């Protein structure tokens, strides 16, 4: 278990060092804000990126690698970091449910004895609901932030 964690974290730490050295977050922020400064569109673009990358990469690696790149961008646009954390987890899990990686699908196929193709088709409505939830999360951020703001006060 410890070896697996080290194998996962070592390349991500190296990537983190490189992104800091080459100032990748500032470059990404400049590139995306030159296209649009709408928080809705930026989160939608990031969500599509996370979903696409999630089909090939583990969720934990995604969070470790890309949060340091995207968090400065979204906070500069006024997006709450708690909202972005929830958004990141949801979008990573959407990608994690989609083939070809789909580790959750592989486990479900082994446990149920059903083929991977049938499970991939059966999971599509759930992915659709996840995507609708992601869009609702972007459009109505106060729904997500209601409970943290109630307990801890407004963070803005």
* Nearest of 18, 37, 47 to residue 78 by alpha carbon: 37
Check pLDDT > 70 for residue 51: yes
Distance CA 68, CA 147 (A): 25
Q: What is the DSSP letter of 123?
A: T
Residue 8: predicted pLDDT: 63
Q: Which residues of 130-155 are buried (b: 16+ CB within 10 A; e: fewer)?
A: beeebeebbeebeebbeeeeeeeeee
Q: How many CA atoms lie within 13 A of 122 on its CB side?
A: 11
Domain boundaries, the chain: 24-152
Tell me the mean pLDDT in the region 100-123: 84
* Residue 21 φ then ψ, to 5°: -65, -45
What percentage of the chain has pLDDT greater than the value 90?
Answer: 27
Check pLDDT > 80 for residue 14: no
User: Residue 50 is encoded by which pair of tokens?
Assistant: 């996370």
- pTM for this model (two decimals): 0.80
Average pLDDT of the residues of the chain: 84
Q: Is 77 left (phi over 0), alpha (psi -120 to 50) or beta?
A: alpha
Q: What is the DSSP letter of 154?
A: -
Residue 18: predicted pLDDT: 76
| DSSP track, 102-147 | -HHHHHHHHHH---HHHHHHHTHHHHHHHHHHHHHHHH-HHHHHHH
Q: Band of the pLDDT at 1, cuts 50, 70, 90?
A: low
* Nearest of 50, 32, 57 to residue 137 by alpha carbon: 50
Better-predicted residue by pLDDT, 85 or 9: 85
Distance CA 121, CA 90 (A): 20
């Amino acid at each position: 278990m410890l070896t697996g964690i080290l194998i996962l974290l070592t390349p991500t730490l190296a990537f983190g060092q490189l992104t800091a050295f080459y100032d990748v977050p500032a470059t990404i922020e400049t590139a995306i804000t030159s296209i649009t400064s709408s928080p809705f569109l930026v989160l939608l673009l990031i969500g599509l990126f996370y979903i696409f990358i999630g089909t090939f990469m583990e969720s934990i690696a995604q969070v470790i690698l890309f949060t340091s790149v995207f968090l400065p961008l979204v906070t500069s646009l006024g997006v709450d970091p708690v909202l972005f954390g929830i958004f990141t987890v949801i979008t990573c899990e959407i990608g994690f449910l989609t083939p070809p990686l789909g580790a959750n699908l592989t486990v479900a196929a082994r446990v149920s004895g059903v083929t991977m193709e049938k499970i991939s088709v059966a999971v599509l409505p759930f992915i659709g609901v996840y995507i609708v939830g992601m869009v609702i999360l972007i459009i109505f951020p106060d729904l997500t932030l209601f409970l943290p703001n109630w307990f801890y006060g407004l963070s803005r």
